């Protein structure tokens, strides 16, 4: 008995079969809108998410402000560590420095903060940028309060002191502005 040969298999070209492609995409859950209103082109992009969602829309001038802050903190730290007498004389005209140790400790603290500022300059993480801006705003706010209290105690005001106080208030305002700008929810594209 001769075994009958089965008929040759017909290959189905699902790439050209639109109904088959539509059914496959429907089963995978791809092609329709999700809860956020996004249309995913593949299951991989649906599972991993859209990377545009995670990028921080940086306010204009943020990176320049971060760079200037890092330079300012580093410069002040080096000056406090190397030249404590001159730094004290710039802020408080005519007052004698009794000990250089507190000024040098201040310089060490500023150097630590400046390292944080330099590292924040190279990150794109929203949380880290916001924390460094908040650190900066707190530092400038505390410095403003301390210098104001010291000037009130000693009873002498100089142009350098008034300039220092004005710049500290300006720096607090800029840091808070960028802090809130970075924290805003991005608009949907």
Residue 101's Cβ-side half-sphere holds a number of Cα atoms within 13 Å equal to 1
Model pTM score? 0.65
Higher confidence at residue 6 or residue 145? 145
Distance in angstroms (rounded) separating the CA atoms of residues 151 and 135: 24
Of 172, 177, 158, 153, which Cα lies nearest the Cα of 58? 177
pLDDT in tens, 118-163: 999 988 888 999 999 999 999 999 999 998 998 888 887 778 788 8
């Amino acid at each position: 008995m001769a075994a009958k040969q089965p008929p040759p298999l017909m290959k189905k070209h699902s790439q050209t079969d639109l109904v088959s492609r539509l059914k496959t995409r429907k089963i995978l859950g791809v092609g329709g809108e999700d809860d956020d209103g996004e249309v995913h082109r593949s299951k991989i992009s649906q599972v991993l998410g859209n990377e545009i969602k995670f990028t921080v829309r940086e306010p204009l001038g943020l990176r320049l402000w971060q760079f200037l802050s890092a330079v300012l903190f580093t410069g002040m730290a080096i000056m406090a560590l190397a030249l404590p007498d001159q730094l004290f004389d710039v802020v408080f005209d005519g007052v004698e420095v009794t000990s250089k140790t507190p000024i040098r400790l201040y310089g060490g603290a500023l150097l630590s903060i400046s390292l944080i500022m330099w590292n924040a300059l190279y990150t794109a993480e929203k949380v880290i940028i916001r924390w460094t801006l908040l650190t900066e705003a707190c530092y400038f706010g505390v410095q403003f309060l301390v210098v104001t209290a010291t000037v009130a105690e000693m009873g002498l005001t100089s142009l350098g002191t008034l300039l220092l106080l004005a710049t500290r208030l300006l720096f607090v305002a800029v840091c808070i502005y960028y802090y809130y700008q970075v924290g805003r929810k991005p608009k949907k594209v």
